Chain A
């Protein structure tokens, strides 16, 4: 249950797997994503509502063959340049897109968590998305006759989350912005959670999200594991880094040099953070 990060990725994330690293702006599992890059996984089907910098990195490093997503920008800054390069120029390899709206993807995660075959919503009306994605179709309500949008359930082989804390039995607590983390977790076949801290007993919080221990495949102690996104109560989002990423990722050469130095060239997340701290000093 309690594993070091490298062993959790080694054991649970295989080449070709469908993998969802969730966390809506908050609690993005950067450390786990970097470890997937270090271990050189290939042909992954990446799933995430907002690919964010972590998927820009995985895509640019050639780990992905397919992306299921609903909004692919650098929030408040602009483009994800590596995602764009993959779509516009097939660099470093072609990337198949399974593109949704937030509402559609949320419905697909909810259906996955409930082990239903599809999610439905009043959505995608008058948009061109269904014409380009076979995974957006219409279904008729058997009671009213109303036509609704339908999307197939998302059931990732592996979902990876970052959370504030877990206890020694593997129960996981999350507070702050939760996005679709709970749905992505319960939709997965395997669930890995990296946490800021492992505690003897979770603080009593009747409505904080708790993922109970028997749905969790592995817990990894990984302080700072969401940086440069954030972990509410532990550290804030590094908005300046998100701005800097725009220049780092704009060109292939500067991107590769940065990844070589900071991710491939570091043993683990602690060394990654130490390198950035040294640079900032």
Chain B
């Protein structure tokens, strides 16, 4: 007799069961796949794309490629600005960036790190075309007409030996030609190269390189590019500017993350921001504390409501449920405005209190534009998210348990605290996490009723996205916030399990 059990179709039962299981798994996955794909494309990828901006920093090395390489030699802790070669590289980069109109964009990027760089780059963009380096161009072209011939230039620059002898000139020419084609729509072989190409040529010639057509330019007085840049703005002589450029030249940076925890990159490593600029830690802590208070308020107010809804006859309970759901379905903006009308000093609540005589007319309560206002309005907005899961959990607790406890001699309080409450804890957990997660991401309500001490970190994220355009910092702040939420979600899943949330219905 065979020791294997056979299925009806003659296959071994084990294999048959395995096949069935596999088919079941596949079917389940096939059902889930469309949604999973949908969420990944419409939601997960956008979020990932956004978070990537918190470390991306290609703008510096893309706008100033030669300068960032030349700066590697320079010691960022030195008290003097870098030397002439760096300024020569900056000249080429800046001349090109001005044509591509990327210099001001880099200026605003670096201005986040050091105040004043924005206008330094704007001014330099205007001034870089007016440098005295035209004497080089003139000297070469006067000595030999070949240097004024665009076609001649093009053929030189196609020649490998010339390129090998004049690497810097070739590099400057290539960049110039590419810029000419893309920005001006001109043909390089029909245009004389600009001053910065001749400057590179002069620098290489005076360093002893062999020229395609030998000319003597030793009589030309060298133009100090450092002096030219300093003439535009003396900030170019400030080593602090160069330090900023060098520190932020790598393609990826942790600078935004440091910034979002009130730190910054200094000359010798990471240092604290000046005290009067520290704000993000305070805001993170405040967001946490406020969200916790809102959560606490929601438990306090939501628990009795959920209890009464769960224990009343279902017809009454369903009517009362409408009172819970109505505000939930009223526009958030409208509810926030309504709270303003209610809470302000000349508002409805104060008026009533004065009318009753509880509060003196000249001493009205300050309930809005502070943390109280935010907590009241947010508690109201998020309360349904606490009541609904609590209610669905309480619905499953048989009332007979309480009666049993009491008939065994427990007081009302003991029966509640030792028997009922422990069973409602999953509901509290679900509600708490839901409320907490939702509240740390809110920003419109705190913005409208929060005053100075009631704003959340999301308000700053929104500011950096829509006003200051510092998207890297916004992304870094967002990433930190997201990590906190994920941690909470993980804890929640551990304690309650994500399946145990019920939203009414």
Q: Do A and B bind each other?
A: no
Which residues from chain B sit less than 8 Å from chain A, CB to CB? none
